[in-house]
Amino acid sequence: MSSGENSDVMVVSVPPYNYIHVLDRNTNITRLVNGPITFIRKDHETITQMPAKMISITPSEYCVISNPVKRDEEGDIITEHGQAILDFGEVEYRFAQPPFPLYPGETVATPVTKLDVLSALEALLLTATVGFTDSDGAERVAGDKWLFEGPGAYKPRKEVKVLRRCDALTVEPNTALLIKATTNFTDKYGRKRFAGEKWLIKEPGAYMVGAYEECENVIRAYNLDEKHALHVRAIKSHTDDFGRKRKHGEEWLITSAETESHIPSVNEEVIRVAEPVVLTSRNYCVVCDPVDENGVPRIGRKVLVRGEKSFFLQPGESLLNGIQDVYILSEEDGLVLKALEDFIDGDKQRLAGEEWMLVGPQEYVPPIEVEIVKSQKAIPLGDNEGIYVRDRFPNSRLNFKPLRGNQLVQFNPTIHLESTPCYVPTGS
């Protein structure tokens, strides 16, 4: 027999787990009649709901009832004049329980539906529509957001709205998640976070972004070796990953001697990936403004570095004239040198501004106190040849006696060549 109102039927058979609604026209009260029963209608009664099946809910399901009946603290239905009192305008989420009927006035807002089952890598973002006390004792106020994380089945409630389903992000080795706080809150590790604050999640594995967090980017590590280093700058004062205190604007170099890979923190910015200066056994260079062991640049100083060697320039350091070759002097070669400052040259004291000649054969690397004025070549003279030279300082002309035989003449830096080799009579 179909459900619905029927005032003509006198006898109704109500099977088990079925129910009917009967209106008493004398009192205008509608009551619930549960089966199994053979119901005989009286003249002043009307069957407003013919036999209908009770609602059955399994442990993995739920349904929503509108205008539910009111119950007391012990769970008993509150009645008045024999009719169940309804909570109009409210809804009630019902879960696994024995089959139950709908009382007069109750309606099904959401039919029996499967619960949301979440895996360990899933969560639901929830928000409170009104203030209430959660099942775990947490006080929620309207607008609060939180996560229900799996694994498990989520049981909805009327005070809570599901915003969206979330998936955990995977943090791979040598990567990190850049997380930003959307408001002030305390994170899952118990740390207080402030709106706009950023931090990194580096621990490999799955990470569920919190209700008041957002993932801005995935940061990949820089791999460091003997050919690559990382030049970084502090964008705010902090303590770096190696326990050193860094000041705002400070720059430093991270090499493979410290770590094989590095993920820049939120307080660091990468300026460049640095490559080493490589010197062979025939190279040298001069480093300007060298950095000491504490990372402090010594402005104005210079350091001579000779190969064979490979090293990284620290932030603030530079090369004077780049990588230079060692001077290889033969017997016919010479260099005019000038002292830039007082220093000890072997066992001899050199004064600033002093010039002298260095002749081969030898290899020569000028120290930082020396400037190479020019290079010289020896002049070959025959048996009857000579040259005229003039002393630059006294402004007098000197006539050099020619060297006899096929020999070479090398000049002192204080003399000036006045002529090319010329004939000199014997006995001059």
> Mean pLDDT, 10 residues at a time, over the chain (428 residues)?
62 94 92 93 91 95 96 86 88 95 95 96 96 89 94 94 95 95 93 95 95 95 94 94 92 93 95 94 92 83 90 91 90 86 85 84 88 83 68 53 45 52 51
Express each pLDDT in 261-275 by its tens digit. 999 999 999 999 999
From residue 380, how far is each of 277, 384, 390, 408, 421 by CA, in Å? 41, 12, 19, 4, 8
Q: Domain segments of the chain: what residues?
A: 21-114, 116-167, 169-220, 222-274, 277-325
Domain 169-220 has CATH 2.30.30.550: yes
Containing 84, the helix (H) or strand (E) segment is strand 83-84
Pick among 2.30.30.560, 3.40.50.300, 1.10.3720.10, 3.30.70.20: CATH of 277-325: 2.30.30.560
Q: pTM for this structure?
A: 0.73
Please tell me the distance from the alpha carbon of residue 195 to that of residue 354, in angstroms, as a whole number.
67
**CATH class of the domain whose range is 21-114:** mainly beta
DSSP 77: B
CATH of domain 116-167: 2.30.30.550
Residue 392's pLDDT is 62
Express each pLDDT in 320-351 by its tens digit. 989 999 989 888 888 888 888 888 888 888 88
CATH of domain 222-274: 2.30.30.550
Task: Give residues with Cβ within 8 angstroms of 375, minimum separation 6.
Answer: 333, 334, 335, 336
Q: What residues does 51 pair with on adjacent strands?
A: none
Containing 390, the helix (H) or strand (E) segment is strand 388-391
- As a three-state string, the secondary structure of 147-213 is EEECCEEECCCCCEEEEEEEECEEECCCEEEEEEECCCEECCCCCEECCCCEEEECCCEEECCCCCE
Residue 403's pLDDT is 45
Residue 81's pLDDT is 79
Please tell me the distance from the alpha carbon of residue 263 to that of residue 230, in angstroms, as a whole number.
10
Residue 364's pLDDT is 87
Domains 21-114 and 116-167 fall in the same CATH topology: yes
